[in-house]
A and B are shown apart, each in its own frame.
Chain A
């Protein structure tokens, strides 16, 4: 850093006009920029001074920006009229500026995007970033200006109800990460009128989980013919392949029920909120697991939260059998199950005739079982039988996720000892 600053301020290294021309010629070819702004402010200033038309990357289509406050005065260098994908991630510190100043600066960047035909927009602020009315307002305004071109939207801010209603009517939106719950408007009794045909839905806050019961209520109204839906929404949520929920939740049959309507899900990522103080918030049973696995046969990656260190859950190794036998493409599973007398439970389940009728798996298939935080203590002589038991349930088992015990099991799985 010191060397660079000295060289520039000293003037001993000043690019020639031909070198700047070459710099700009090459920059004009770039279509994607991953900008982490580690460049010193002096370098950015020099580049800015030597970019006469103010835009350094005229052909840029994709900008991924890990925002740092010192780059704020130079943001126009990185905006191109051809930009279609814009992602900005921001986390403090504020670089000697006030939080309001930085967030207002980000807002002014967003305002500049208003006129662009964006297909993908992502604004991810760290949870440590204070909320900012000016930023929320700028993002809401920008989204209201974007139309059918938008296919991907990820915003870690609360947006206005009008903005959410606008988003719900975007016809080509397929990926939506959101913090908001359903809009608080009196006539929104269901999602029948408009809702995009999403493939990915990311629920990023507790309030956003309220979309799930609304999906279920709408589905019930449709099936009981109380709602006259637009044809595209008669099968609401049927194209969803990925559902993620960031906040830790109590995972029980009521919570899972709406999710079981998304029959094409291939990825489900949930987090339970188990702790020593609050106890286990995972209360599914083996019957629930069987119902889930039956309803979601296309699952490839299913996570129902880390296993609790307290062995208080009702699910047993039988729940693993449900997933292994119903979900033929399953490649990763994380689910609570009682690990008391694990060897005995696995020995017993190995006799289950359901495990004799596996389909022929495709070449190269694999399966990883997550045992993260699982309360498992295994004697050396039990490791082999336990691994064989898991392999009996999951014939494509290639490894375990987790801690020290898992290493022991992995060793057995790979080396047979």
Chain B
């Protein structure tokens, strides 16, 4: 996470792979950047500024795709942005099929690929 602005690191208090359960019905926004309650029920409103989260995702992309995978796993509120940026770099139809559809839809040669290529269809672990 070197080079990431500090205000990003403090969102949710963790960038180490924990997944924050985010309630679908949002409550009133809190003013704390760090979400220290457990479980965290609210993303900070700053996360709803898509231009900002896009900047975060773009920055992480320069760091390597694995960083985006980590971001997608860390915070549900950032998952969409992280995955969309990650997949904007993906160019193979085969991988799209393998990661999102049942195994029977896979291409003939994809059977040779290790199962960990995709992780639950949410992202590409091999990035």
Task: Give me the interface of A with B, judged by CB distance under 8 Å.
Answer: 1, 3-4, 7-8, 12-15, 19-20, 22-23, 26-27, 29-35, 38-40, 43, 46, 59, 62, 64
Contact = CB atoms under 8 A, between A and B. Distances in A.
Given A3-B111, A22-B100, A26-B96, A31 B88 contact: yes
Contacts of A32: 88-89, 91
B30 to A, nearest CB: 29
Contacts of B127: none
Interface string B92-125: 1110110111111111110100000000010000
Interface in B31-48: none
Contact of B93 (A7, A22, A39): A39
Given A15-B102, A23-B101, A30 B96 contact: yes
A265 to B, nearest CB: 32
Contacts of B10: none
24 contacts: A4-B104, A4-B107, A4-B108, A7-B105, A8-B104, A13-B103, A14-B102, A23-B96, A23-B100, A23-B101, A26-B87, A27-B96, A29-B84, A29-B90, A32-B91, A33-B92, A34-B91, A35-B93, A38-B108, A39-B94, A39-B97, A40-B108, A43-B97, A64-B91
A26 B99 contact: yes
B69 interface: no
Given A23-B96, A33-B93, 15 more contacts: A4-B108, A8-B105, A19-B100, A19-B102, A23-B101, A26-B96, A27-B96, A29-B88, A30-B91, A35-B93, A38-B108, A39-B97, A43-B105, A46-B105, A64-B91
A7 B107 CA distance: 11
A8 B96 CA distance: 17
A7 B104 contact: yes
A46 B93 CA distance: 14
B32 to A, nearest CB: 31
Contacts of B91: 30, 32-34, 62, 64
The interface residues of chain A, by DSSP majority, are classed as mixed
A327 to B, nearest CB: 35
Contacts of A4: 104-108
B72 to A, nearest CB: 12
Nearest to B106: A4
Nearest to B85: A29
Give the 4 A-B CB pairs with smallest separation, nearest first.
A13-B104, A7-B104, A29-B87, A23-B100
A39 B105 CA distance: 10
Interface in B48-92: 83-92
A400 B86 CA distance: 40
Nearest to A47: B97
Contact of A13 (B84, B89, B102, B111): B102
B127 to A, nearest CB: 14
B103 A1 contact: no
Nearest to A21: B100
Contact of B107 (A12, A23, A33, A38): A38
B87 A30 contact: yes
A15 B85 CA distance: 25
User: Which of B83, B103, B106 neighbours the largest number of chain A CB atoms within 10 Å of its CB?
Assistant: B106
Contacts of A27: 96
Contacts of A40: 107-108
Contacts of B121: 22
Contacts of B94: 38-39
User: Which of B85, B86, B88, B104 neighbours the largest number of chain A CB atoms within 10 Å of its CB?
Assistant: B104
Contacts of B90: 29-30
Contacts of A39: 93-94, 97, 107
A50 to B, nearest CB: 10
